[in-house]
Structure 1
C-alpha cells in the first residue's frame, strides 16, 4: 500500500445466494439465484449513501453478477480481480464435500497457522498474499473514496481477519458471513482497520 494521505473506505461483501451446475466441489461455476439477485439489489440500497466510486469483484460468476447488479444501481463501473476469489478446493475437486475436506486446514488458519495448506491447493499464506495485494491496489487507486469489493465467505473470514490490524485471526470462528454480509475496512499508510463485521460495528 502506498503512502495514503486519505483513508480508502472499502466495503467487502459476500456475493448473493448462488446455485450451481453440480453438487460436486469445483473452483468454477455458480450463478445468482432469484433470492441472490434480490440480495444484491438490497445491498445496493444499503450502500447508496456511501457514494461508491467503483465496484471490484472476484472473477467467479456469482461475485461478478452481484457486483454488476450493485454497480448498475449505483452508477459505478466494475473491475474484476482473480485475487479476490474463494480459496481453491485443491484435491477435493469433484468430491461431494461431505465430510468437509477444508475443516481441518481452515481451523488451523484461524488458530494462526497460515502455513497450513489445503491438500493440493493453497496455503493460508498464499491466500492472504493474493487477497491483500488486491486490497492494497484498491487503496492506492481510491484514496479518500469509498468502494465495494464483492468476494466470498470463506476467503473473507480468513483473509480479512489477517489483514485488519485490530482483528485476531480467530475473529470469524463464530461469526459466519451471510450472503451480501459486509465488512467495512479503512486503509491508510498504517494498514487496514475493520470498522464493522457482517454489518455489526466493531469497537
Structure 2
C-alpha cells in the first residue's frame, strides 16, 4: 500500500518561528489557503490515484489543508488526535532562539536514538512515536494487504521528520536536516505498518533528486528552499 504524508499549509506561526503545537493553533494564512487548493492538482500529479482514506490531526491548520482534498475526492476526513505535532510543552509559542534550539535538539535526539529524552513539559520520543504509530495503524487498518491501496494524512513538519526518520527507510538524518519538508509538500512511502515503509518521495521530489551532502549543515525550511532554487538555476 501507499502512504502519503502531507505537511499542512503555511500559517503566520511558520513565518514568525513560533513553536505552535497546541490546539487549536493558528489557522492557514492566505498563502496557506492557496497552497491547500493547489494541493489537489499536486496530488493528482505526484500520486495519481485517489486515496481510499484521508486523515489529519485535530489541529486546525491540518483540517483546513485536508478540506480541498476531501471535497475533490469525495471522502471524509478522519480526525485523529494521535497524529498531532511533536508537542512543545513548556516551550509552547516561544520564538526565542534558545527555546527553538532546545525543541530541535530534542527532536534530533529522537532521530538519533535517544528516545527516552523528554520535551520539557511534554512527551518523550518513545511516547511520541507510539501514539503516532497508533494513528497510522488506524488509518491503514484493513488495507495492509492491498498493494493498490492509498491512504493520505495531513500532519506537521516536526512529527513528519521524527516519525519518518524512525519508521521510513530512505529518510536519512542528512536529508531531513538539510531539506526540511515544505508547507503543503507530499512525502510518499510504500509498505505497511507491519512490514515497514520505504520512501519514494520526500517533500515533492524523488529521493535521488535531493542534493544531499553527507554530514552537511542543517538548514531551516527557508534556507533549504533558497538553496534548492540556487542548485536548480545553476
Q: Tell me the TM-score normalized by structure 2.
A: 0.75
Q: Is the 8 A contact 1:132 1:163 kept in 2?
A: no
- 1:181-196 correspondence runs (5 A): 181-188=185-192, 189-196=194-201
Q: Which runs of 5+ in 2 are unaligned?
A: 209-234
Are residues 1:113 and 2:114 paired? yes
Q: Which runs of 5+ in 1 are unaligned?
A: 1-7
Q: Is the 8 A contact 2:3 2:189 kept in 1?
A: yes
Q: In the aligned structure 2, how far is the partner of 1:67 from the partner of 1:55? A: 8
- Spell out, residue by residue over 1:31-51, the C-alpha distance to the aligned partner (whole angstroms, 9 max, x if none): 111211111111111223321
Q: Tell me the TM-score normalized by structure 1.
A: 0.86
CA shift in 2, pair 1:170/1:122, >3 Å: farther
Greater mean alpha carbon deviation, residues 123-132 or residues 139-148: 139-148
Larger strand fraction of residues: 1
- Spell out, residue by residue over 1:99-139, the C-alpha distance to the aligned partner (whole angstroms, 9 max, x if none): 31313212322322122111111111111111112112222
- The structure, 1 or 2, with the larger RCO (C-alpha pairs under 8 Å, 6+ apart) is 1
- 1:55-74 correspondence runs (5 A): 55-74=54-73
Greater mean alpha carbon deviation, residues 88-97 or residues 34-43: 88-97
Structure 2 residue aligned with 1:35? 31
Task: Give the deviation of 1:169 after TM superposition.
Answer: 5.2
Larger helix fraction of residues: 2
